[in-house]
Structure 1
Amino acid sequence: MIEVMLQMFCSFFGTMMFSTLFNVQRRYYFGCGLAGMLGWMGYYLAQPYLSSAVCCFIGTVMIMLSSRIMATRLKCPITVFLIAGIFPIVPGARVYHTAYNLVAGDMIAAASYGLSALQDAFGIVLGIVCVLSLPGSWFGNKNQRNRNEN
Structure 2
Amino acid sequence: MEIGAELIITFIAIVAFGVIFGVPKRALLLGGAIGMTTWAILQGGLTLGGSPVFSTAIASFNAAMFSHYFARKIRIPVTTLSIPGILPLVPGSRAYFTMLSFVEGDYLRGLEFGVETMLQAGSIAAGLVFALAIFSFGKGIGHRYEPNR
Identity of counterpart residues, as a percentage? 25
Paired amino acid for 1:109: R
Matched with 1:4 is 3
1:27 aligned residue:
26
Q: Which amino acid aligns with 1:66?
A: F
Q: CA deviation at 1:13?
A: 1.4
Map of 2:77 onto structure 1: 77
When the two structures are superposed, what TM-score results if normalisation uses the length of structure 2?
Answer: 0.88
Matched to 1:35, the amino acid is I
Please give the alpha-carbon distance, in whole angstroms, between the structure 2 residues aligned to 1:135 and 1:56: 20
Question: Partners in 2 of 1:62 and 1:6 — Cα distance?
Answer: 21
**Which blocks of at least 5 consecutive residues in structure 1 are unaligned?**
139-143
Equivalence for 1:141: none
Cα distance in 1 for partners of 2:94, 2:18 equals 22
CA deviations on 1:63-111 (whole Å, 9 max, x unpaired) are: 1011011100110000001112211110000000001111111101100
Give the ranges of 4+ consecutive aligned residues of structure 1 lying more than 6 Å apart after TM superposition: none
CA distance in 2, matches of 1:34, 1:136: 24
Unmatched segments (≥5 aa) in structure 2: none
CA distance in 2, matches of 1:60, 1:3: 22
**How do 1:110-125 and structure 2 match up within 5 A?**
110-125=110-125
Q: 1:135 deviation in Å?
A: 3.2
Q: Give the TM-score, by structure 1 length.
A: 0.87
User: Does residue 1:88 correspond to 2:77, yes or no?
Assistant: no
Instruction: Indicate the residue corresponding to 2:39 in structure 1.
Output: 40
Q: What amino acid is the match of 1:3?
A: E
Letter in 1 for 2:26: R
1:42 is matched by which residue type in structure 2? Answer: I
- 1:21 deviation in Å? 2.1
Instruction: After TM superposition, list the pairs within 5 Å mapping 1:50-65 onto structure 2.
Output: 50-65=50-65
- Computing the radius of gyration from Cα coordinates, the structure with the larger value is 2
Question: Relative to structure 1, is the Cα distance of residues 25 and 135 closer, same or farther in structure 2, using a 3 angstrom cutoff?
Answer: closer
Q: Are 2:68 and 2:135, in contact at CA under 8 Å, matched by a contact in 1?
A: no
